[in-house]
Structure 1
Amino acid sequence: MLKKIWATSVAAISLGLLAPAAGAQELNFGIISTESSQQLKQQWQPVLDALTQQTGLKVNAFFAPDYAGVIEGMRFNKVQFAWFGNKSAMEAVDRANGEVFAKVVNIDGTEGYYSHLIVHRDSALKSVDDVLKNAKNLNFGNGDPNSTSGFLVPGYYVFAKNNVDTKSAFKVARSANHETNAMAVANKQVDVATNNSETLAKLEKTMPEKVKELRIVWTSPLIASDPLVWRKDLPDATKAKLKAFFTSYGKTNPAEREVMAKLNWSTFKESNNSQLLPIRQLDMFSKRTKVEADTTLAEDDKKRQLAELDKKLAELK
């Protein structure tokens, strides 16, 4: 496992940029791989250019092949701040000296989004029950293991609560980013996949014909908006510049609003680590459900693990 994490980290660092030179006002901004790097660069580069112009900080985009690459980049200080989902932000806070400082706001002013299960519009699958009953004959597109909407949320509400292990339940199960999963379903390469409302809204603008081939068979409860996370050891003056920029960007400037619209957001809003509390609870509930359903565990081991998880859950309240 450690070898895999290290390999991912090295791959991420090789795709990114070297850490800023000591004393230089230069930062690397991590961007999780929800879509292709080229598409994400087009969407984010105007924001980073404006950040450089308005603050005097030179900001470089840092891409990785998966979410873990950005988390590990922050852990090793190759990334100083980043856009994450809530699950990956939780990992960055716990393992990479991260701290939430802002979150995105949707175009309509709401502060959340939804996880989905999607199928092809011609599919006979109409519900979660259909998916679970026919899993042995289906190819499943799961999300990145550090994705909130692509993995954690459906992993709990759809699979853990129904005592289903995706690795063994489906004919084939593989992981990919949201855009890749959506295209795989549209092209009938997989039968069902995880996705989210943000990605589908973006694809409606960029690939509307493909989105027409998709149908949603499950929608989650509301998930908190994506957070921005910085390393806690950034200088206070740098943090002040970043927070001031993001909390004002897109509020009045028409050009900035246009840039944000392409990201399918309106503005950024100040936030903190407390927004991760529901995700922590969901993560613990998911782990507890898996332990409870594990028939290979000795009864004493199961009781011990459940007691430990219940203690952690109680501490989160």
Structure 2
Amino acid sequence: MIRKLFASAIVSATALMGVAQAEMTYKPLESDPKELTFGIISTESTSNLKDQWLPFTEAMEEELGMKVNAFFAPDYAGVIEAMRFGKVHVAWFGNKSAMEAVDRSGAEVFVQTSKANGSQGYYSHIITHVDNDKINSLKDIFKCDKSLNFGIGDPNSTSGFLVPSYYVFAQNDVNPKDCFKTVRNANHETNLMSTAHKQVDVAANNSEQIGRSKLKAPEAAKNIKVIWTSPLIPSDPIVYRKDLSKEFKSKIKNFFLGFGRTGDIAKAEKILAGISDGQGKYMESGNYQLYPIRQLALYKEKLRIQSNEGLSAEDKAAKVAEIDQKLAELAILVKYQ
């Protein structure tokens, strides 16, 4: 019985993930690329991201024996769309943006990042200026008199958007647009610096950006006060186009898993230490690491439907039942992954 239920859940979850739709919407690759393009999401300014990632792409180029180009875009959607049209073949994403890439861009998770100590996770934060003695917890920002300016992350960001949208706002029945004077979307670096310079009163951020700022912009970092911390978020996934050849995907995966474990280990460790707040070795992963993020997105949608006064009780019950079914299927997948 369990096996039948598990098999049914896999079939339903596959439909849930939009695989059928993705196969119709992303542009298939005709063959493996002659040059590999590695996409990098816009968590910071492009110049800062280049400093972190170009040494890594150069090492990848040397190991694979082919040209590796780094692709930067002004927002997360730019990398997702570039992968959808075959312009990006491998990419670093957060979990939310990886979920979008899997569903829309023919992507597949194959490894995930870790920290130097081997831990695999990070946290979303809500921050304010350290001198702001009127804001010390979430209840202090929920007066909702439209006196505060709030900085939220890119809509495809896990820690900057999805996690705070669910845990901070949806669970407290607060609509940010009805609560704050302004709500501004920006990357993690911009939100941190805007908070440090009192350009916004409160902002979403994460432990990695705060850690990196302590290393690279300590004067700004010391002006930040954390007023809320999320549950642990899975470490960032690395994805590649699933329609690359098996041989080519094996070469790419072997490079990531071998980086810092074989060859010039000291050089690799130095390169990884320069990424974000200091990365460790890559760990094997798969699309299963996105299951908790899918659950989070569904819970958020369920809360939105339940609070929608424009829906009839019958429509609301039907939509909630559909989401509950998807959540039940995902719960089985999470249990047996």
Whole-angstrom CA distance in 1 between matches of 2:142 and 2:247: 52
Range 131-140 or range 35-44, more displaced: 131-140
**Conserved 8 A contact 2:196-2:221:** yes
SS at match of 1:29: strand
1:284 to 298, 310, 320: 298
Q: Which runs of 5+ in 2 are unaligned?
A: 1-28, 332-337
Would you say how many aligned residue pairs link Structure 1 and Structure 2?
299
1:208 maps to which of 218, 225, 230: 218
Deviation at 1:314, TM superposition (A): 1.5
CA deviation after TM superposition for structure 1 residue 293, in Å: 1.2
CA distance in 2, matches of 1:188, 1:46: 34
Tell me how large the CA RMSD over aligned residues is: 1.6
Contact 2:121 2:232 in 1 (8 A): yes
Contact 2:144 2:178 in 1 (8 A): no
Which amino acid in structure 2 is aligned with residue 262 of structure 1?
G
1:223 aligns with 2:237: no
Q: Distance in 2 between matches of 1:24 and 1:90?
A: 23
4+ long deviations beyond 4 Å: 20-24
Counterpart of 1:178? 188
Determine if contact 2:144/2:179 at 8 Å carries over to the other structure.
no
Greater mean alpha carbon deviation, residues 163-172 or residues 215-224: 163-172
Amino acid corresponding to residue 311 of structure 2 in structure 1: L
Which residue number corresponds to residue 144 of structure 1? Answer: 154
Contact 1:251-1:257 at 8 Å conserved across structures: no
How has the CA–CA distance of structure 1 residues 204 and 169 changed in structure 2, closer, same or farther, with 3 Å as cutoff? same
| Cα shift at 1:84 | 0.2
Match of 2:259 among 226, 249, 254: 249
**Structure-2 separation of matches of 1:121 and 1:135:** 22
- Cross-structure match for 2:197: 187
TM-score, normalised to structure 1, is: 0.91
Name the amino acid aligned to 1:95. Answer: R
Quote the residue 1:16 is aligned against.
Answer: none
CA shift, 1:177, in A, is 0.3
CA displacement at 1:266 relative to structure 2: 1.2
1:110 match: secondary structure:
coil
Whether 1:301 and 2:334 are equivalent positions in the alignment is: no
Q: Secondary structure at the match of 1:113?
A: coil
Q: Which moved more, 1:50-59 or 1:191-200?
A: 50-59
Residues 244-297 of structure 1, C-alpha deviations (whole Å, 9 max, x = no match): 110111236111111111111111111100100100001000000111111222
- Give the match for residue 77 of structure 1: 86
Task: Give the match for residue 240 of structure 1.
Answer: 250
Deviation of 1:101 (Å) = 0.3
**Alignment equivalent of 2:115, drawn from 92, 100, 106:** 106
Q: TM-score, normalised by structure 2?
A: 0.86
Question: Quick one: structure 1 residues 311 and 180, their matched pair in 2 at CA, closer, same or farther if it must change by over 3 Å?
Answer: same
| 1:169 equivalent in alignment to 2:156 | no
1:274 matched to which residue of 2?
288
Tell me, yes or no, if the aligned pair for 1:202 and 1:262 is still in contact at 8 Å. Answer: no
Q: Which of 99, 113, 126 is the matching residue for 1:117?
A: 126
- Structure 2 SS opposite 1:222: coil
Change in Cα spacing, 1:305 to 1:21, as seen in structure 2 (3 Å) is: closer
CA drift of 1:23 comes to 6.1
Q: Percent sequence identity over matched residues? A: 53
Shift of 1:22: 6.4
Deviations 1:204-262 (A, max 9, x none): 11100100000000000000000001010011121111111101112361111111111
Q: Distance in 2 between matches of 1:168 and 1:79?
A: 38
